[in-house]
Amino acid sequence: MISLLFASTIVSLAQRLTTIHLRKNQVLVVDDSLVIAKRDTTVQLARGTEYEVYDNKYVLSEGFYDSVYTSAQKSRITKELYNLLIVNRPPDNTFQNTDPVNSEDFFKAFEGKTITSIDYVSVDLFGGSVNDTTLKANSRIGRISNKIHIDSKKHVIFKQLLFDVGDEVDAFEMADTERIIRSLKYIEDARIILKVNTNDLNTVKATVVIKDRFPWSLDAAVDNSSTLRVGFINQNIVGTGNEFGIDYLYSKNIPPSHGYDAHYTIRNIDDSFIDGTVYFSDNYLGKSKGISFRRGFISPAIKYYGEATIEHVQPIVDLTFADSVYEEGFQIDRRSYDLWSARAFQLGEKRKNISAALRIKHDNYTNRPEVRADSNNIYQDHHFLVSGLSYSKINYLKTKNILSFNITEDVPVGFIYSAIYGRDWTEFGTRNYRGIRTIYANYNKRIGYFLLNLESGYFTLNKQKVDQVIQFNGRHFTPLIDLGTAHSRVFTRFHYFNSNNLSIPLAQSLLGENRIRNIEGSQISGNNLFTLTTEYVVFQPWYFYGFRFATYVHAGIGSVSESRNFDPYDITYYTYGGGVRIRNESLVFDTFEFRVAFLPTTPADGQSFHFKVSLSAPQFFRSPNIAKPQVVGLK
């Protein structure tokens, strides 16, 4: 009787269960849990339970790399190439926690605790990672390269810190410091790690972890076989953060045939956040020499900022109007200085500031084209005094998967409202200037991120408004869209420029990173224009032996009109194309981009097809900032 009851119970249970057979390394996903089978096995679940079974793509990739490793050991050369290019980095959950988060949130748990020490870690240039400081280069070439490379000096990085031993942790200052270090040209990535001291829970020790970029670069450009530019730059001279660059320029048709363009920059002079640059050039484009010092508004902790520039420039230009050349090879000769300074007052609430700025600019021309009151006024001798008052609140969000896989971006949110007033003393009278600037940026989980920038301004001369300009531009991206097996975003940019009574030869061009890329030729600039571009990016589910893929298509429209000359025009251009971004975190060079673009309508002297290859991830953001007061749209 008992045996019959037990057997009946077993049968009843079996009818309520679903049996699943898993092969070795297959993955069983049930609700929010997953099981990886280490051997062939059987799993039973309650009937009706939803589940999915996948092959473990990471194990497949490891098998692939194992086979590559075995083959690579047969030759000394292939062994070294394998060890140099392949680095061990564990796979991560690419699409987890993709919503932007406040950058200061990572430090709020430590706020108010006293900093007792600050340590410094510089990970290897080849094979290193700020997320895992134990990673080292595998190859002899990599190890030798790391030894040859001079790491950024500890004191150079510590000059960027907004905090010191004995300070209490301020989450905003910590986040700003991370962002400031990441923004340096010679730094690839940076993290600040806080750890509570076990002997005193009210104190922490801080560790600054950085990874350098390779400081040397060489580039070359050839234009129709008539000009050549070869450039060399070192962005981190012997680990000091200073920069030296020199270009060699050759021209077949325009003297001088051989020339140069050089600069030297000293960064963060005497812990002041002031960068100083001296520059010289002498080539077929003209001559120049100058010196400048600049301190940017990099954080609300910075009270004073500004810039001073003194220069002597002699550019060789083709004098044009509405893309028509009326004099070739004219050499301008101008001496000028440009000085401006600002004071920021931090309000009670974090990140809110009121800033007052004053700027004086003087231009003196010793050689120039004919100047009249209504034309060529950009070549007039003048003194320009302008002031600005700004009210702002800018914060930063951290996110990833903006245009590529796992690229950390500091996304700006907040607002800037500015009013500008100035007076321009020129050869033909005194002009007053008035302008406004409004920037607003925000992120919403439903509609995504958007940034809008509206600027307007005008001069008054003899009680008449001249050089009236209004421009409106913006950018937007959607939240990450779940397509089932893939994810996507849509990126959009627009730019609108409108002017009235604009002086000759002032104009704006369709060409630009945030306008129409690659367009070239005549009749692409004017006194009115509009551009709209969009890009649809799909982060594909494909995982091919460690490679991840993001495919995209792009399209754009640009309209330009010129109404100030005897032959006015109003032309619309179109562009479309596509590309792919490939990323493999197991490779030192981890991002590759291939892009094609078509322009079915082009200027007569332009090209309709463009192809581009890039080894760097694209950047979508340029942080809005409280910059020097200036004339809207007419820099």
Q: pLDDT tens, 48-62?
A: 677 777 565 444 444
Q: Where are the domains of the chain?
A: 101-212, 217-268+278-295, 296-614
The C-alpha atoms of residue 152 and residue 437 are separated, in whole angstroms, by: 38
307-336 mean pLDDT: 80
Residue 471 contacts by C-beta under 8 Å, 6 or more apart in sequence?
454, 455, 456, 495, 496, 497, 498, 632, 633
Q: 539: helix, coil or strand? A: strand
223-242 mean pLDDT: 85
CA angle 453, 457, 459 (to 5 degrees): 165
Percentage of residues of the chain with pLDDT beyond 90: 38
The C-alpha atoms of residue 593 and residue 381 are separated, in whole angstroms, by: 47
Query: Which tokens go with 401?
Result: 């998967």
- Identity of the highest mean pLDDT range in 311-325, 345-359, 430-444, 491-505: 430-444
pLDDT for the residue numbered 74: 60
The C-alpha atoms of residue 402 and residue 409 are separated, in whole angstroms, by: 8
For 296-614, give the CATH class.
mainly beta
User: Integer distance in angstroms from the first to the last C-alpha of the chain?
Assistant: 97
State the chain's mean pLDDT as an integer. Answer: 81
More confident residue, 157 or 34: 157
301-325 mean pLDDT: 80
Residue 410 contacts by C-beta under 8 Å, 6 or more apart in sequence?
103, 179, 182, 396, 397, 398, 621, 623
Q: 66: helix, coil or strand? A: helix
Residue with tokens 């010191």: 164
- Identity of the highest mean pLDDT range in 70-74, 94-98, 244-248: 244-248
CA 188, distance to chain mean position in Å, is: 12
Helix pair 57-72, 76-85: axis angle to 10 deg: 150
pLDDT for the residue numbered 31: 52
CA angle 39, 41, 47 (to 5 degrees): 145
Residue 561: Cβ-neighbour burial (10 angstroms; 0-12, 13-18, 19+): middle
Whether the pLDDT of residue 446 is over 60: the answer is yes
pLDDT for the residue numbered 170: 93
Whether the pLDDT of residue 365 is over 90: the answer is yes
Of the listed ranges 14-18, 84-88, 161-165, 588-592, the least confidently predicted one is 84-88
Q: 555: helix, coil or strand? A: strand
HSE toward the beta carbon, residue 6, CA cutoff 13 A: 3
pLDDT for the residue numbered 150: 86
Q: Which CATH superfamily is domain 101-212 in?
A: membrane protein fhac (3.10.20.310)
Q: How confident is the model at residue 212 (pLDDT cuts 50, 70, 90)?
A: confident
pLDDT for the residue numbered 410: 81
CB atoms within 10 A of CB 126: 22
Of the listed ranges 23-27, 155-159, 524-528, the least confidently predicted one is 23-27
Q: 263: helix, coil or strand? A: strand
Query: Which tokens go with 59?
Result: 């194990």
Q: How confident is the model at residue 88 (pLDDT cuts 50, 70, 90)?
A: very low
Residue 114 contacts by C-beta under 8 Å, 6 or more apart in sequence?
166, 167, 168, 169, 202, 203, 204
pLDDT tens for 111-121 read: 999 999 999 99
pLDDT for the residue numbered 89: 46
pLDDT for the residue numbered 263: 97
Answering whether pTM is above 0.85, one says no
Query: Which tokens go with 593?
Result: 């981009």
569-593 mean pLDDT: 76
pLDDT tens for 91-142 read: 444 445 556 778 888 899 999 999 999 999 998 877 777 877 777 766 677 7
Residue with tokens 């292939």: 78
